[in-house]
Amino acid sequence: MPSPYRALFAAPGSKGFSAAGFLGRMPLSMMGIGVVTMVSQLTGRYGLAGGLSATIALSAAVVGPQISRLVDRYGQRRVLRPATLVALTAATGLLLAAHLAWPDWVLFGCAAGIGAVPSLGAMVRARWAAVYRGTPHLHTAYSFESVVDEVCFIFGPIISIGLSTSWFPEAGPLLAACFLATGVLWLTAQRATEPEPHPRDDHSGGTALRSPGLQVLVATFVATGTIFGAVDVVTVAFADEQGHKAAASVVLALYAAGSCAAGLVFGLLRFTGAPERRWLLGICAMAVSMIPLLLVGNLPFLAVALFVAGLTIAPTMITTMALIERHVPRAHLTEGMTWVSTGLAVGVAIGSSMAGWVIDAAGARTGYGVPAVSGAVAVAVGFLGYRRLSRPVPQRGGSHEHHSEREERHVA
């Protein structure tokens, strides 16, 4: 591992919370695609499969920021454990309902309950921010966590699709639930690195979404999430049409591998100039990378096209996290990071649903038009909101927070 990444883990407890976050984030890449695979295996209905995946994502979009707001107020341990219990109970119900062929409304009700799953990525990034705020190490930390996200997306679909197609249909989502339970329990057991909560009487009240800059990021990432949701569902269907459904996991892993490689390199670089310009360039690159998917005719070409497209993801996400830290009050940092995940989740819900309908109506190749159009929408929203991101941002946070920052810089 290059020395800037190795230096991150000099901070006490950093290895533990990062490892727990990795394990707890595996369901992010396993649950949705696992449900798509499970339901398509059991029923052959891609529309239903996409709808359930969309319901999970949309529910997480609604519930996730509320959970993170409570985390900012009361702390990670007190909030994450009961929220995870709700999500695990709902996941159990979904697996039973699918296995026993219960009515569709039961499936959708259980899928909605899975939305209580906490945003482990936001929790871990908040811990890094508490350790390295105001230092160059924070850029490296955000880069590392983006790489961890992509590692999850490399191995998660392979594991989930592989288990569901070769063992039994419910195996992928079942293992995802086990990863979630273990990761959350391990992370919340680490009290020394848990960020200090900010009770309701803290002077910086309200919601993180009041920030104009955050509003732009969230709106843009709705369109970006539509890309991700559509690519997942269409790729599974395309591989199925080609007679190699299990190969979808490998193809999607290459998509994530491209992002992982770009994130590793990006974390070693030090940038000057306005981060919002790099962010907008990243959004444009993501949109352009969707165009070759319209021309796919076989799985090898699709794999290459998705790997190249993946190179645009991590740098854009890393810059997004830096912009959130710049535009959101510190007392709402976890909530702010979760709102971007919420935008992605809403987009995933839209993308997976639209892709499922298009596949059922016109086939998988036509389905790749969904991420192409979504990329164009993301660019349009990014340009329209660019001025909000480029406005000067006043210093935020109370006196005790500035004192903590001076201490953190001294330690770093």
C-beta of residue 315 within 8 angstroms of C-beta of residue 262: yes
DSSP letters for 346-364: HHHHHHHHHHHHHHHHH-H
| Residue 5 belongs to some domain of the structure | no
Provide the residue-wise pLDDT of the chain in tens; the chain has 412 residues: 557 778 888 888 889 999 999 999 888 878 888 888 888 888 877 778 878 887 887 788 788 888 988 888 888 999 999 999 999 999 999 999 988 888 888 999 999 999 888 888 889 988 988 888 778 788 888 888 888 887 887 778 778 888 888 888 888 899 999 999 999 999 999 988 888 887 754 444 567 777 888 889 999 989 998 998 899 889 988 888 888 877 887 888 888 888 888 888 887 777 777 788 889 999 999 999 999 998 888 888 999 999 999 999 988 988 888 888 788 877 777 788 888 877 887 787 788 878 888 888 888 888 899 999 999 999 999 999 888 877 655 544 433 333 333 333 333 3
The answer to whether residue 202 is domain-embedded is no
CA-based torsion, 390, 395, 397, 402: positive or negative: positive
Q: What are 304-348's pLDDT values in tens digits?
A: 999 999 999 988 988 888 888 788 877 777 788 888 877 887 787
Q: Does residue 203 lie in a domain region?
A: no
Please indicate, yes or no, if residue 402 is contained in any of the structural domains: no
The CATH number that applies at residue 303 is 1.20.1250.20
φ, ψ of residue 305 to 5 degrees: the values are -60, -40
Query: Cβ distance 76 to 187 under 8 Å?
Result: yes
Structural domain contains residue 150: yes
In a domain, 177, yes or no: yes
Any domain includes 9? no
> Is 399 within the bounds of a domain?
no
Q: Is the dihedral of CA 301, 303, 307, 312 positive or negative?
A: positive
Residue 94, domain extent: 14-197+209-392
Closest by CA position to 375, among listed 283, 259, 280: 283
> Is 358:294 a contact under the CB 8 Å cutoff?
no
Length of the chain equals 412
Q: For residue range 347-386, what is the model confidence (pLDDT) as tens digits?
A: 877 888 788 888 888 888 888 999 999 999 999 999 998 8
DSSP code per residue over 302-368: HHHHHHHHHTTHHHHHHHHHHHHHHHS-GGGHHHHHHHHHHHHHHHHHHHHHHHHHHHHHH-HHHHT
Question: What's the one-letter identity of residue 246?
Answer: A
Give, in order, the Cα–Cα distances in Å from 359 to each of 98, 230, 240. Answer: 22, 10, 11
Number of domains in the chain: 1
| Distance, CA of 154 to chain centre | 13
Amino acid at 13: G
Instruction: Give the H or E element holding residue 399.
Output: helix 399-411
Report whether 157 contacts 247 (CB < 8 A).
no
